Chain A
Amino acid sequence: MGPLAQPTPTAGSTALDRTTAESARPSSRLEMTGISVAFGGVTALSDVSLVVEPGQVHGLIGPNGAGKTTLFNVACGIVRADSGTITWRDRPLRRLRPDQLARLGIARTLQGVGLFAGLTVLENVMIGAHRHARAGFASALLALPRSDSDERALRGRATAALADLDAERYADRYPGSLPYPVQKRVALARALVSSPELLLLDEPASGLAEDEMHELGKLIRSLSARMGVLLVEHHMDLVMSVCDRVTVLDSGAVIASGTTTEIQADPAVTAAYLGEDVDVEHDAAELQAGTGADRA
């Protein structure tokens, strides 16, 4: 396959590497088709399509203001698309409230960390497992046995998620007292505790040092065995090292979509990142080395 710069990249999804996909549940596939969003007459996204296959890490990159966050928020149900369809588990997603999203097996992290300062680390993670609790309102209020065992299960689940990310020892601390990278791990544990089938990551590497980013990359890679991941990120080296496929946005439209190798070789991407009048080959090499993003 040559450089892939077609405006409707849905077709590209047929060519993906299926080996990792088979380990996840077959129906958990996020498909966004022809998404357009305008804010008061200003077009934020026009006819954007993107597919996150189960077991795949899909990178979403683009210069500042390209519409990454808008697309992310459309996937989360925070921003409603003016046109286009979103399909999840083979069903259209329409009129979604954020709390419904969580119940559908989609989890997201927030830019920054977004932990509750007044709750302990363990409690923060427990909130993320909310959708798994079965006991209703009344039984929890009346402290019926079912809610009691529910509560214990929730606690166990949250502890396990923390242990997974090597943050178990901070369970009883408050987030404000922890170093930033640890807070990031806790926030990730909170997203993972609900065993999502799709994880939406909003700039997870921001504020991390080089080696921490490397750790994060390995972690994201290992997560893809269990779920699909949509990764919005501007650290090019992270995206290039962990993603199966990458979609590049510029000015609200898809300018490229394909494997990391294809993206790196795509002159349209280089141009979008570094401006039109540049030595494409030189800058493509720079892009590959991971320094291009810093200038974008």
Chain B
Amino acid sequence: MQQFIDTTLSGLAQGMVFAAFALALVLIWRSTRIVNFAQGSMAMATTFVALALIQAGWNYWAALAAALVSGFVLGAVVERVVIRRVEGGPELNAVIVTLGLFVAIQAAVAIIAGSSFQSFPAPFGLRGFTIGGNTIALTPNRVYVIAAVLLTMALLVALFRFTRVGLAMRAAAFGQEVARLLGVRVGRMLTLGWALAAVVGSLAGLLIAGGSFVYPAYMDSLIVFGFVAAVLGGLDSPIGAVVGGLLLGLALSYVSAYFGGSSVVNLAALVILVVVLLVRPGGLFASTVARRA
């Protein structure tokens, strides 16, 4: 029983990070119909920004804020300078471009920061809480991870539901041409969408790095997990991404605990992806509503 609870708790914490990362992918997919394979590299780059600042003596929170801001800027620049040229073109072009960015950013960080493992601090303790003499898998840092992702999601919901900019972003995502005719600066909305997605992706990268090691390829598996979570949720649905992330986190945690250990986790994620695509290609939360205005 203890093991089951621990497995569930660590699965939820992991799932929260997957959810955040999947959410970043979904934000970009909804607005530009592009799967951003460079999302992991971009998040890794901003994590290295935070790491450099922490090593320079900044405290964790200041470094976190600086990294998220740099994520915002990076996302905006990538959209405006690179992605804008392939938006609305053949899908394959965008895929190649984001894959190219993925490799290029990773290589650039390796050149600048080296490719050795470096430890990244966690802002809170990594020892589990004790309940009645038992130490459970829920650590203060995991509580922080879960709370940070929940807060980010709440802020995003508020932005999209209750602000004018959020409404314009949704309109631009649903029908670019009509939105443009109604006076929405669609280009700006796309830039903003990419910037926000990069912030959320960066947050996922920073959270998963806490108390662990970072190196230029440390986000590679998170891309796979994030993508599986997003597809699980239907790629088009933010709620689906969150639920998909949590389900995947739990599933992988159980696989790791009961079916062969951590070595089969990647395999399990890909099996889940294949099964979803075969059985329910629209995802668990696919909205059948036409997206065209």
Chain A interface residues (CB < 8 Å from chain B)? 76, 78, 98-99, 101-103, 108, 110, 114-119, 123, 126-128, 130-131, 133, 135, 137, 140-141, 143, 147, 150-151, 154, 174, 176, 190, 194
Q: A114–B183 contact, CB under 8 A?
A: no
Report the separation of the CA atoms of residues A263 and B162 in the bound assembly, to the nearest whole angstrom.
50
Which residue in A103, A115, A116 is a CB contact (below 8 Å) of B183? A103
**Interface members, chain B 155-194 (any A CB < 8 Å):** 158-159, 162-168, 170-171, 173-175, 178-186, 188, 192
Chief secondary structure at chain B's binding surface: helix
B289 on interface, CB distance cutoff 8 Å: yes
Q: Which residue on A lies nearest to B164, using beta carbons? A: A133
Instruction: Give chain B residues whose Cβ lies under 8 Å from the Cβ of A114.
Output: 175, 178, 181, 293
B164 and A150 contacting across the interface, CB-CB below 8 Å: yes
Taking a contact as CB atoms under 8 Å apart, the answer to whether B292 and A102 are in contact is no
Q: Chain A's interface: helix, strand, loop or mixed, by majority?
A: helix
Query: A126 touching B167 by the CB < 8 A rule?
Result: yes
- Contact check, B164 vs A110: say whether CB atoms are below 8 A apart: no
Give Cα distance in the complex from A138 to B188, angstroms. 12
Chain A proximity of B125: nearest CB distance (Å)? 32
> What is the bound-complex CA distance between A126 and B174, given in angstroms?
15
CB distance from A153 to the nearest CB of B (A): 10
User: Per a CB cutoff under 8 Å, which of B164, B175, B289 touches A174?
Assistant: B289
- A176 near B289 (CB under 8 angstroms)? yes
Whether A137 contacts B165 by the Cβ 8 Å rule is yes
Shortest distance from the beta carbon of B278 to any chain A beta carbon, whole Å: 28
How far, in whole Å, are A167 and B225 apart by their CA atoms in the complex?
A: 45
Complex interface: chain A residues within 8 A of B192 (CB): 137
Please name all residues of chain A whose beta carbon is closer than 8 Å to the beta carbon of B162 when the two chains form the complex: 143, 151
**How far is it, in angstroms, between the C-alpha of A78 and the C-alpha of B165 when the chains are bound?**
24
Of the candidates B180, B183, B291, B293, which one forms a contact with A131 in the assembled complex, judged by CB atoms under 8 Å apart? B183
Residues of B with C-beta under 8 A to A131: 183
Residues of B contacting A130 with CB < 8 Å?
A: 164, 168, 182-184
Complex CA distance for A127 and B171, rounded to whole angstroms: 8
Q: A99-B185, A130-B183, A143-B158 are in contact. Are A118 and B174 (CB under 8 A)?
A: yes
Q: Nearest-CB distance from B77 to chain A (Å)?
A: 16
18 contacts between A and B (CB under 8 A): A78-B181, A99-B184, A101-B183, A116-B174, A117-B293, A119-B167, A119-B171, A127-B171, A127-B179, A130-B183, A131-B183, A137-B188, A140-B163, A140-B164, A141-B159, A143-B159, A143-B162, A143-B163
